[in-house]
Chain A
Amino acid sequence: AQSVTQPDIHITVSEGASLELRCNYSYGATPYLFWYVQSPGQGLQLLLKYFSGDTLVQGIKGFEAEFKRSQSSFNLRKPSVHWSDAAEYFCAVGKSGFQKLVFGTGTRLLVSP
């Protein structure tokens, strides 16, 4: 069965600094990988996704993620964090022709002035 691990529950980053949120997955085949962001009391917004091809994917709001098969990772990065990026970030994995997504436990990003 698929599983997703986000090892960092909370991360605090200074505004303007770079960000990397970690995501490791467990799945026997090539996964479909997603990053979603959730602001307090809101639904989830898709930041980016990886299905195949170029392992470095660009998303909205200046985010990017890199799929590394050898490390079973799909880490999210942003070169310069803005205060508005403070939110909860969820990594998720699905299977090819998938019906379900499995979510990680989320990482709460705090942005300090």
Chain B
Amino acid sequence: GAVVSQHPSRVICKSGTSVKIECRSLDFQATTMFWYRQFPKQSLMLMATSNEGSKATYEQGVEKDKFLINHASLTLSTLTVTSAHPEDSSFYICSARSTSGVPETQYFGPGTRLLVL
């Protein structure tokens, strides 16, 4: 149980294009999903908290117009990197918090590696 998937697992795009990353909770409902960014050999930095049916809450320093987050259902959140540039290249990881069972626990997806050329 508590499986979270991400798609795609890796993506290469040209500078200036937009990329959408999906995060799905496969066997549980998640009112809250989180998006993290991880640079090589570094820890996870929270980008935003996504609540189903409402606007995402962004961490300080994260551009909300650049990193668009949509949480349209209890099992799906999407992160769109708009007008991507090489400095956006990173490993993006989502997590989901269950609405039942042990809601205090976040379950993580396998991550999406983005490379912007």
Interface residues, chain A, with chain B CB atoms under 8 Å away? 32, 34, 36, 41-46, 49, 51, 90, 94, 97-101, 103-106, 108
**Interface size class of chain B, counting residues whose CB lies under 8 Å from the partner chain:** 20 to 34
Q: Is B7 part of the binding interface, using a Cβ–Cβ cutoff of 8 Å?
A: no
Is B104 positioned at the interface, with any CB of A under 8 Å from its CB?
yes
Nearest B residue to A106 via CB reads: B43
Task: Given A98-B104, A99-B32, verify A104-B43 contact (CB < 8 Å).
Answer: yes
How many A-B contacts at CB < 8 Å in the complex?
Answer: 49
**8 Å CB contact of B44 from A41, A46, A90:** A90
B113, A94: Cβ atoms closer than 8 Å = no
Task: Say whether, besides A90-B43, A99-B49, A106-B43, A43 and B109 are in contact (CB < 8 Å).
Answer: yes
> Which A residues are in CB contact (< 8 Å) with B32?
99
